Amino acid sequence: MNLIDGNQIASTIIAELKAEVSAINGRKPCIALIRVGEDPASVSYVRKKEKTAAEIGIESRIILPPETISHAELTRIVSDLNADDTVDGILIQSPMPKQIDELLIFRGIAPEKDVDGLGTMNLGKVAQDDDTGFVSCTPAGIMALLARSHVDLKGKHVVVIGRSLLVGKPIALLALQKKAGANGTVTICHSGTSNLAAITRQADVLIAAIGRPDYVTADMVKPGVVIIDVGVNRVPDTTRKSGYRLTGDVDFSTVSKLASQITPVPGGVGPMTVAMLMRNTVKAHRQRTVNPG
Ligand code: NAP
């Protein structure tokens, strides 16, 4: 079994971006990071994004509205950033409080600054095999992990568990695209799927994005499968100072014995998500510099 080392692949990409940004004459790329409220996971995710941006030489602008912000006020913040020429990318950390309609907020980000790729235009471009848009960061990270681990999806049966807008749907569309590295035969499973294990056992590449700790067990996979475990689940662990540990959607201890390649949790997909956000921000800067206004 080979471990797909997301930390190492992400650091290579970050080093490549750093070289690219240092070669930019003039204004460097800038990302606006909006975090509403003080959700502890969001605090740590935004901090990581800010730190990685600084490492690359991307400017970040941190905007921290209170938990009580109204939908209209958040919309105004986004509109102001859309109009600000010195901002290349806008990310609003999910989850947002319940008075905010997340989808509407994502749709309100100017497509050319939608570096999280969750707006209608950029999701549509994925369906159209159009590379000018921004692929949302976790699915983009999965494709980069596969490419850099020499996994070509052509002719492979790719089974995705999960159909969220954030992960399941876009990764299925990317795996399906008619282009080098993709060209997979894709099956999407979800909570309404009957006899899930019979389908997952057919997978050459299994992508689990469910949000249930250790859900995929050894009896659900075939020998030689490539496993991408997207899940990040906190499970109680009294031996840890924090009181919890992180685990994926795949039972690593048993499934790794059968897999040809597998991502760990943590250290697999997670670091790639941040690296892809940075790659999208550099791309947004490049496109906006070539094509201002
Ligand atoms: P989500 O929106 O909750 O979607 C979960 C999907 O899994 C849904 O489509 C759901 O089906 C399906 N599902 C749930 N239980 C199932 C079951 N028993 N059998 C088959 N399908 C089942 O979650 P998400 O945003 O996609 O995230 C999934 C996981 O990835 C979470 O653990 C999240 O923390 C993690 N994640 C990690 C990163 C990263 O950077 N590493 C990024 C994003 C997400 P229905 O549609 O039928 O409800």
How many structural domains is the chain composed of? 2
Asked if residues 206 and 185 have their Cβ atoms less than 8 Å apart, the reply is: no
| DSSP assigned state of 243 | S
Verify whether residue 179 is a known catalytic residue. Answer: no
Note down the domain range covering 238.
137-270
Do 153 and 38 share a domain, yes or no? Answer: no
Q: Where are the beta strands (DSSP E) in 82-238?
A: 89-92, 157-161, 185-189, 205-208, 226-229, 233-236
The CATH number assigned to the domain holding 241 equals: 3.40.50.720
**Residues forming beta bridges with residue 245, ordered by sequence position:** 235
Strands 244-247 and 233-236: antiparallel
Ligand 1 is surrounded, with C-beta below 6 A, by 138, 161-164, 166-168, 189-193, 196, 209-212, 230-233, 269-270, 273
Out of 116, 204, 229, 249, pick the active-site residue: 116
How high is the pLDDT of residue 235? 96
pTM confidence score: 0.97
Residues of the chain with pLDDT under 70: 291-293
Alpha carbon of 250 to ligand 1 centroid (Å)? 12
Give me the DSSP letters along 261-283: EE--SSSSHHHHHHHHHHHHHHH
How high is the pLDDT of residue 1? 87
Asked if residue 130 is part of any domain, the answer here is no
Asked if residue 80 is part of any domain, the answer here is yes
How high is the pLDDT of residue 293? 60
Asked if residue 287 is part of any domain, the answer here is no
Rounded Cα distance, 122 and 128, in Å? 10
